[in-house]
Amino acid sequence: MTVVFDGWRGGWVTEETERKKGIHLIFSKLGETADEVIKRLVRAKGSGVVVVTSDRDISRYAQRMSVAVIPSDQFRERIGQSGLREEGKDALEEEETETSKKGPSRTLSKREKRLRAALKKL
């Protein structure tokens, strides 16, 4: 997991990175926004990453690059649910069985498929 912090107003002269308990922390450099860093990371890593954001600009950019985007509120909800269900099925799997009927009107969009695949990994 990588978390990007904005340092464009009061950051260091160079981009700083740290690793704390398995989380990669990136602090953007002075004059560079976290959005620019995230876009650079998405460009470099490609479709294998998942972006968690509620920023529309970042979300649109990531989707254009075929990267799965999870809205922050859904991520928070999913993290809150982790470990709370006793059964092997989670809410996402239950939802999929409801929408897995055949026919063009029930086919999920590529964006929705990427989102569900990303949520399953959590």
How would you write the chain as a 3-class SS string? Answer: CEEEECCCCCCCCCCEEEEECCEEEEECCCCCCHHHHHHHHHHHHHHHCEEECCCHHHHHHHHHCCCEEECHHHHHHHHHHCCCCCCCCCHHHHHHHHHCCCCHHHCCCHHHHHHHHHHHHC
- The per-residue pLDDT for 118 is 80
| Residue 26 maps to a domain | no
At residue 42, the pLDDT reads: 96
In a domain, 7, yes or no: no
112 within some domain: yes
Res 13: pLDDT: 85
Give a yes or no: residue 93 inside a domain.
yes
Q: What is the pLDDT of residue 105?
A: 65
Q: Does residue 5 lie within any of the structural domains? A: no
Count the domains in the chain. Answer: 1
What percentage of the chain reaches a pLDDT higher than 90?
A: 51
Does residue 28 sit within a domain? Answer: no
Report, as ranges of residue numbers, the positions in the chain whose pLDDT lies below 50: 85-92, 94-98
